[in-house]
Amino acid sequence: MIGFFEYQYLKFKKNHLRNLVAMAAIDGHIHEEEIAYLYKIGEKYQLKPQQIKHILDTQEKPVPEVPEHHHQKIALLYDLVGMMMADEVIEDAEMEFCKNMFERFGYKEQLIDEMIELYRQGVEDTDQWEDFLGRAEVHRLNLADW
């Protein structure tokens, strides 16, 4: 039997993937590279392949839940940027979707460019990532100017 907190975390992980599917489908076609990226992220969250396939097959519209914690917000935004770049073509609709998500989460859209660059570099340096997290938190919409 699954406990309440386990259920909540499973729900969070599935919603995370639904947001990625919404991003992938925004141009009317989910490319093979985007599917591979979705499975990679699903595996990172320890979802079973059949759970990932179900999310992909049903393409449910994501429930607009904003993660509670800064790190969770940034993780989802980073994965959205990854999905946007998975097929190596950044469509206008994908960029607009990202901008809307950044705004919904309380971050300035200028953060997208820095996150794209971090994604291209493949952030492996923990200090670099922590520095980025700190800057992102400071540059929330209601705080310092960008």
In the chain, the percentage of residues whose pLDDT exceeds 70 is 84
Number of domains in the chain: 1
Q: Distance (Å, rounded) from C-alpha 140 to C-alpha 131? A: 15
- For the entire predicted model, the pTM comes to 0.81
pLDDT for 120 equals 85
Kindly report the CATH number assigned to the domain that includes residue 56. Answer: 1.10.3680
* Residue 134 scores a pLDDT above 60: yes
- 58-115 residue pLDDT tens: 876 665 567 788 888 888 998 999 999 898 888 899 999 999 888 888 888 778 888 8
56: closest CA among 38, 44, 40? 38
In a domain, 143, yes or no: no
- Determine the structural domain holding residue 104 and report its residue range: 4-138
In a domain, 144, yes or no: no
In a domain, 112, yes or no: yes
Return mean pLDDT, the chain. Answer: 82
In a domain, 82, yes or no: yes
What is the number of other CB atoms lying within 10 angstroms of the CB of residue 98? Answer: 23
The residues with which 140 forms a beta bridge, in sequence order, are 107
What is the number of other CB atoms lying within 10 angstroms of the CB of residue 52? Answer: 21
In a domain, 63, yes or no: yes
DSSP characters over 35-50: HHHHHHHHHHTT--HH
In a domain, 146, yes or no: no
Token pair 């705004």 is found at 103
Q: Confidence band (pLDDT; 50, 70, 90) for 145?
A: very low
Q: Distance (Å, rounded) from C-alpha 90 to C-alpha 19? A: 17
pLDDT for 107 equals 87
